[in-house]
Structures are given as structure tokens and as C-alpha cells.
Amino acid sequence: MSYEMVSAYTLLVGQTDGEPTVSVHTTADDAWRTLDREVRERCGMRPRPRRRADADAIARLANAWRAGDPESRYWNVTTHRLPIPVPEIARRPVPVEPAPSLVRATSRWIFG
């Protein structure tokens, strides 16, 4: 069985006095968008218009939110590389040697 490496992104946002928000994403862009949405909800800001996510701008926004209470607020986006087993169902056929056949020679069987 072969393995294919895939990326996963985890997002952690929270405060010490409440339940943290933890989510797993398949793309970095999706993780950063979710961080932006979480911070904006916690700050009472309106949602950002749909466009390409700028990780640096979102990190600045999240850092500004955390700076309001640095002892209890936290956030983290982490990248993970995960090996996923891939079954070999479509691999190239391997040449198979022919099975031995039975040949009758005098009074006994011989594999030929």
C-alpha cells in the first residue's frame, strides 16, 4: 500500500473563560477565512466581503483582538502533513509467469 501526503489546517480560537472553537480545514485559505469570521463575530464587527483571504491582514486583526486581553485570549492556525494510505487498485499489471503444466512421461507426472 502506498501513501499520499495531504495537508490539513487546524484553527483554535478562544478565551480562558469560555469554550474554544476548534476546526479542521482542507485549505489554508479556508482556515484563515474562518479565523477572520470568528474574530469579527467576537468583536461585533460585520462580516468581511467575499474576496481572497489575506493571511497577513487576518493575522493583524486576530492579534489586535488578542491584544485587548492578552492573558485570556488566544488563537492559532497550524499546518499538518498527514500520510493517507492509498490502495493500489489501478496500478499497472505485473507480468505473471505461466502456471506449471502437467506433462505425462511414462508412468509418473512431471511438472514442466
With a cut of 70, say whether residue 78 has pLDDT above it.
yes
Structural domain includes residue 94: no
More confident residue, 44 or 12: 12
Structural domain includes residue 93: no
Residue 51 belongs to domain spanning: 2-86
With a cut of 80, say whether residue 96 has pLDDT above it.
no
Q: What is the pTM of this model?
A: 0.69
Structural domain includes residue 74: yes
Structural domain includes residue 56: yes
Span 84-108, average pLDDT: 66
pLDDT in the model for residue 112: 44
pLDDT in the model for residue 3: 83
Residue 111's pLDDT band, with cuts at 50, 70 and 90, is very low
Structural domain includes residue 108: no
Structural domain includes residue 77: yes
Residue 9's pLDDT band, with cuts at 50, 70 and 90, is very high
DSSP-derived letter for residue 41 is: H
Please tell me whether residue 58 adopts helix, strand or coil conformation. helix
Q: Which three cell numbers stand for residue 49?
A: 466581503
Q: How far apart are CA 96 and CA 75, in angstroms?
A: 56
How many structural domains is the chain composed of? 1
Structural domain includes residue 109: no
- Of 50-54, 75-79, 107-111, which gets the smallest average pLDDT? 107-111
Structural domain includes residue 107: no
Please tell me whether residue 23 adopts helix, strand or coil conformation. strand
